[in-house]
Amino acid sequence: MPGTADEQSVSVRVMVNDRAHQLDVDAGEVLLGTLRDRLGLTGPKEACGEGECGACTVLVDGGPVASCILAAGSTNGRVVRTVEGLAGTDELTTLQQAFVRHAAVQCGYCTPGVLMVLTALLDDVPEPTETDVRRALAGNICRCTGYQQIVEAALEAAGTVQS
């Protein structure tokens, strides 16, 4: 039934990092705000606030999206994963471990978004080339590393190159 949303707010059922949530979000609210302010998931970062830099990247139904411009209301029935949802309680993913080994993190602000894009890439393309990795990272801005360590870490995690 159309138009059942209350003035200024809309009900959303969304799965975030394997936990089901039922939330009332504002009509103009973006997913990044929902994650950080309502659910306390501060891994995704706000930087540009207009979908240009990738710091806010999370996975929605497995695909990377800029959560700073995604309407929270349109995530109804969807599955969201943030950087907090990657590791288990005491073990990092292969990709995260490779980031540590290659010092692919400097200031760290872009890292949660970069990890999510590369997680999607490794799910999609089992043996990515360096070009695949760099193309996947086109929407993620990192001003510290020059990307080289990030690319090396991704290739090692994919098993494309030996550590």
Q: Binding of another protein at residue 123 (CB under 8 A)?
A: no
Q: Binding of another protein at residue 128 (CB under 8 A)?
A: no
What distance in Å separates the CA atoms of residue 29 and residue 69, rounded to the nearest whole number? 9
| DSSP three-state, residue 15 | strand
What distance in Å separates the CA atoms of residue 77 and residue 118, rounded to the nearest whole number? 24
Please report how close the Cβ of residue 65 comes to another protein at its closest, in angstroms.
Answer: 5
Q: Which of 41, 95, 104, 136 binds another protein (CB under 8 A)?
A: 136
Please report how close the Cβ of residue 52 comes to another protein at its closest, in angstroms.
Answer: 7
Give the Å distances, CA to CA, from 25 to 5, 9, 117. 10, 5, 26
Q: Which is nearer to another protein, 100 or 123 (CB)?
A: 123
Q: Which of 16, 105, 117, 133 binds another protein (CB under 8 A)?
A: 117
